Structure 1
Amino acid sequence: MNPDVLVIGGGNAALCAALMAREAGASVLLLEAAPRDWRGGNSSHTRNLRCMHDAPQDVLVEAYPEEEYWQDLLKVTGGRTDEHLARLVIRHSAGCRPWMRGHGVHFQPPLSGALHVARTNAFFMGGGKALVNAYYRSAEARGVQVRYESPVDRLEIENGRFVAAHCTVNGRPERIVARSCVLAAGGFESNRDWLREAWGRNARGEWPSDNFLIRGTAYNQGVLLRHMLDEQGAERIGDPTQAHMVAIDARAPLYDGGICTRIDCVSLGVVLNREGERFYDEGEDFWPKRYAIWGRLVAQQPGQIGYSIIDSQAIGRFMPPVFPGVVADTLPELAARLGLPVERFMQTLDAYNAACRAGSFDHTALDDCHTEGLVPPKTHWARPIVRAPFYGYALRPGVTFTYLGLRTDDTAAVRFGASASPNLFVAGEMMAGNVLGQGYTAGVGMSIGTAFGRIAGHNAAQAVLQRPPQGLAALIAEDRQAQGDVHAVA
């Protein structure tokens, strides 16, 4: 039997869509390209959801109002965002947790002394893998059909209306007809050829992207995204070189290294390129607001490699990565062990140490420890690197997900020029570029995926019922009514 709603993808956004469509009474089939053991896409590697709240709420302390959330997002994107859609995502984040709990997701108690994330982010108990597993259990219990190892390579679309999807099931081609469809199949970060195409060659004729590592799934090849952009004429959004890109341990695996490969001591020391030179302000802002710029910064350095250097004063102040750092009793010895030019390394460290101005060091606040007369400066948490032993971590760009995607509106409909599809919707990484033109702040990807996954699934069911699609604001209003929230939706 052909389903009412076909959901293509297997991560957070796809699962939210499938659950919402099923709650509305539609029959749902979800196609996941990965095997069951690797289901969930990049969502399996997530930890939290960035949430707006005007007062303390269950697992969130203090307040994180809409305007502060918006300013945080505006700062990291440099204004490359659709404010209307961004603010709707922000407002949705205030009320989605009860719905998530209703599908088996649990949140852990507030984290204390962790760079304000206890105020801004709700952490999943058991991480993203537990969240994904909870959603799959809930979906299957509610009658959602799930097929694994079922990649979709093309769609049939007539005058902007979805007709059918062509996929491979058990090695055989299959055509699946549905009355509406949600696209949530991720970006193209795992497609090495497409990364090469986007980033091109450098002046030496090398391919910079060959040095990138993929933090998440190997199954986000972007096949369906390319089909929609190049063959179906869907309206695009975003720059193919922009991505959630983090500086991770250079020894990380090519795929699926996840959170444990991230190097979180950057703001506690200095970062050098392979020539032994600093290239950016390591103390510009709190780490959760700045960690995602460092992958791109390293990608712009010679050989796409960097080195985070700290001393023993930093130990215990950051989440330790899975691999231990290179350790030495002296700075020249550390430089030699890292393969860096010792003389230039020492010139850089000596200049940095001399430029540090004493203050009240506090890594949980924007403190007054800074440099003077140094380019680039270090704005906060600048302490001389003088206490042995010394540690170094080689860094590579780690791509989480790409921002090139499909343009949409607050109904999550796929757009073809001036018109929106009546029965084809998009969510998650395939449309995140509408909100994220560049940059990132911790947890916002899950906010986008949850918000647009839910509205896409809801409207896919509305299309089956031959009702007009509803905007995200309507869903926010329903969430607030369910919580007894009397605040009006702007």
Structure 2
Amino acid sequence: MWDVVVVGGGNAALCAALTAREAGASVLMLEASPKAWRGGNSQHTRNLRCMHDGPQDVLVDAYPEEEYWQDLLKVTGGLTDEALARMVIRESSRCRGWMQKHGVRFQPPLSGALHVARTNAFFMGGGKALVNAYYRSAENLGVDIRYETPVDAVEFDGVRFVAVRSGEQRFEAKSCVLAAGGFESNREWLRQAWGQNEQGEWPADNFLIRGTRYNMGTVLKCMMDAGADIIGDPSQSHCVAIDARAPLYDGGICTRIDCVSLGIVVNTQAERFYDEGEDFWPKRYAIWGRLVAQQPGQLAYSIIDSKAVGRFMPPVFEGTQAQTIEELAQKIGLDVSTLVKTVHDFNQACQPGHFDHTVLDDCHTAGITPAKTHWALPLDKPPFYAYAVRPGVTFTYLGLKTDARASVFFNGVRSPNLYAAGEINAGNVLGKGYTAGVGMSIGTVFGRIAGREAALAANQLIQEEANASA
């Protein structure tokens, strides 16, 4: 028997396993994927959103708690547990030293169009390097790691955790951390969550999965069946507009289309449907997948002119290029006259201003719906470019309701030895929306808390057993 079993193999699971091992517990970590694909969605991440009251190593200026909280409040629309959110925010300021101790390296501050040099610390080598560093540290510390071991059952004695099973294998432990992700790779569950739209379509059939194919939601379903307290809307997720040519799984960051705020986005009817310049891109990129999901065919087109080239992170695939809007419409299969009118009406609505993509500038539209609030420049300088986009689901927000100790509950009763971290409890902080890097903040903070609490629970059981036998 192990002291702690950690179910999952991504950032939150690794943070839990490392922390529990540091506390002296024997730890078993069960990862569903083969070794080559270990790390879940964390292998596709790039950065951690960090609170800081002044310049710190790779972070410039300051990003105080209240500003971080207001950013989170805005994107979630208030669908967040403020106490837990503020805990994550405060703890995010204390993560980097611990991460560096386990081999994670950070790169110098970024500049340019991402606007995150002040708020986010970027991993040297990206998420794959972070995951590999954690696994090396875990191996060196003696964490027992089993790959290709998907957990499909959890055993309880009342609300007390007893064991997990993977097929015929049974793993008993004194405590457990569930960090096995959401259900974004489970197409049938996505279909149930989204249902049919007014056109009779099943929107989820056209979703692409930006991350791992191994997040099937099996552990979450086991917990739901066991009567665990659940939080979140199953249709809410980190859902990004990504290149429609992206692979079904594991496209990652490079498939995201980042020129949305520099042009217009139209649906298959060649009509705009949302304010492309509502706020800075890192605070709005994760709403566009859901917006596209609500359009016919779950398909849209991000259109820019040559003025935008060089102002955004280039995507992995080249866009469709044309010298006129008419030619562009023909190439991407949209009604020519409608797209010409949409672009003409947008151009006419653009008001004179001082364009500055690094601030919320005064370039906006007037007399048009939807408005474009910032960075509204006429599309008038050929060549023109179009990028077809589809919804790309990163992770889902339905999960286990937890407290500040990462404890799992059953009808309001706290389990004495079961904890949750990462995507499976992110819905406590993220009811909807997203802002860049906060998922890694949630996973890192709750992972470390869950690992600490699981080690304490295991130690307490050891003491109780020792006292009983004395």
Once the 2 structures are TM-superposed, how far is the Cα of residue 440 of structure 1 from its aligned partner?
A: 0.2
Once the 2 structures are TM-superposed, how far is the Cα of residue 95 of structure 1 from its aligned partner?
A: 1.0
Alignment of 1:189-268 (within 5 A): 189-229=184-224, 231-268=225-262
Alignment of 1:78-477 (within 5 A): 78-168=77-167, 173-229=168-224, 231-466=225-460
Divergent runs of 4+, >4 A: none
Q: Give the whole-Å Cα distance in 2 for the aligned partners of 1:260 and 1:467.
A: 47
SS in 2 for 1:178: strand
Q: Give the whole-Å Cα distance in 1 for the aligned partners of 2:83 and 2:330.
A: 52
One-letter code aligned to 2:339:
F
Q: Give the whole-Å Cα distance in 1 for the aligned partners of 2:83 and 2:57.
A: 28
Q: Give the whole-Å Cα distance in 1 for the aligned partners of 2:308 and 2:163.
A: 56
Q: Give the whole-Å Cα distance in 2 for the aligned partners of 1:13 and 1:447.
A: 10
Once the 2 structures are TM-superposed, how far is the Cα of residue 158 of structure 1 from its aligned partner?
A: 1.1
Once the 2 structures are TM-superposed, how far is the Cα of residue 115 of structure 1 from its aligned partner?
A: 3.7
Alignment of 1:3-152 (within 5 A): 3-152=2-151
1:95-120 CA distance string (max 9 Å, x none):
11000000000000001234420000
Q: Give the whole-Å Cα distance in 2 for the aligned partners of 1:135 and 1:254.
A: 27
Q: Give the whole-Å Cα distance in 2 for the aligned partners of 1:409 and 1:163.
A: 21
- The count of aligned residue pairs is 462
1:27-83 CA distance string (max 9 Å, x none):
000000000000000000000000000100000000100000000000000000000
1:234-260 CA distance string (max 9 Å, x none):
000000000000000000000000000
Q: Which runs of 5+ in 2 are unaligned?
A: 463-470
Aligned to 1:486: none
SS in 2 for 1:117: coil
Identical pairs, percent:
72
Q: Give the whole-Å Cα distance in 2 for the aligned partners of 1:462 and 1:72.
A: 34
Residues 5 and 28, structure 2, Cα contact 8 Å, conserved in 1:
yes
SS in 1 for 2:169: strand
Length-normalised TM-score, structure 2: 0.97
One-letter code aligned to 1:78:
G
1:400-453 CA distance string (max 9 Å, x none):
000000000000010111211100000000000000000000000000000000
SS in 2 for 1:111: coil
SS in 2 for 1:374: coil
One-letter code aligned to 2:162:
V
SS in 1 for 2:321: strand
SS in 2 for 1:393: strand
Q: Give the whole-Å Cα distance in 1 for the aligned partners of 2:459 and 2:75.
A: 40
Q: Give the whole-Å Cα distance in 1 for the aligned partners of 2:292 and 2:31.
A: 33
One-letter code aligned to 2:416:
P
Aligned to 1:485: none
Once the 2 structures are TM-superposed, how far is the Cα of residue 467 of structure 1 from its aligned partner?
A: 8.1
Once the 2 structures are TM-superposed, how far is the Cα of residue 340 of structure 1 from its aligned partner?
A: 0.5
1:342-376 CA distance string (max 9 Å, x none):
11101100000000012111111111111111111
Q: Give the whole-Å Cα distance in 2 for the aligned partners of 1:342 and 1:377.
A: 22
